[in-house]
Structures are given as C-alpha cells and as structure tokens.
Amino acid sequence: MVGRSANYVLQEYPNAIHVFIYAPKDFRIKRVMETYGDSPEKAESNIRRADSARANYYKNISGNTWGERHNYDLLIDSSVGIEKCASAIGEFIGKRQNQ
C-alpha cells in the first residue's frame, strides 16, 4: 500500500514495513520542472501545495504530523535514484524477514 496514510492504517499489522520517501527541495523542483515543464516558481508552488495537502490529509486521518521520522521504519532520500531506493528497500525488507 502506497501513500494514503498507509503507515497509520496498517499500524496494527506487525509485518508491515513503513517507508517514507523524501527528497531535497532543489531536487524536487528540478524533477517537477523536467516532468511537467514548469518554471522553477511554478514547480515550487505546486510542490508546496501538494505537501500541504498531504500533511492535512495525514493529520485528518491520523491526528499525527506527516513525515515524522518516528512513524516509519525506513526513510529514504529519493535523490539517490530509483534503483538505489528500490535496492535499499529490498535490502531492508530482507533483513527484517531474517530477524
């Protein structure tokens, strides 16, 4: 399950692994510009609006703050690349299963 307050919704499932994927502001702006053709200002505005919507949704569902480190098992900076993120998540899951 991805997004939609999954870490909160699945908190009673002991085998669920909660991952939060984030990226530095400059990386996110560049990525939005490349993907949607936005200007830097428009990209930053869209990111700010999307983050605000995510934070509000999460707060309404869970009563907690979106992105708080203690709510997740693993936090990953996506600016390292998709392959490295996927590999790190896979490694983490593998180690968890072997415990």
Residue-wise pLDDT for 7-62, tens only, equals: 999 999 999 999 999 999 999 999 999 999 999 999 999 999 999 999 999 999 99
Structure tokens at 67: 């992105």
User: Rounded CA gap, 59 and 78, in Å?
Assistant: 23
Q: Is the pLDDT of residue 99 over 80?
A: no
If DSSP codes are grouped into helix, strand and coil, which group holds residue 11? coil
Structure tokens at 66: 């979106």
* Strand-pair partners of 20: 75
DSSP, res 63: S
Res. 4 pLDDT band, cuts 50 70 90: confident
Res. 5 pLDDT band, cuts 50 70 90: very high
Q: Is the pLDDT of residue 63 over 80?
A: yes
Apex CA 67: angle with CA 72 and CA 93, to 5°?
Answer: 25
Res. 3 pLDDT band, cuts 50 70 90: confident
pLDDT confidence of residue 36: 96
If DSSP codes are grouped into helix, strand and coil, which group holds residue 80? helix
User: Which residue in 4, 2, 1 sits closest to 62, CA to CA?
Assistant: 4
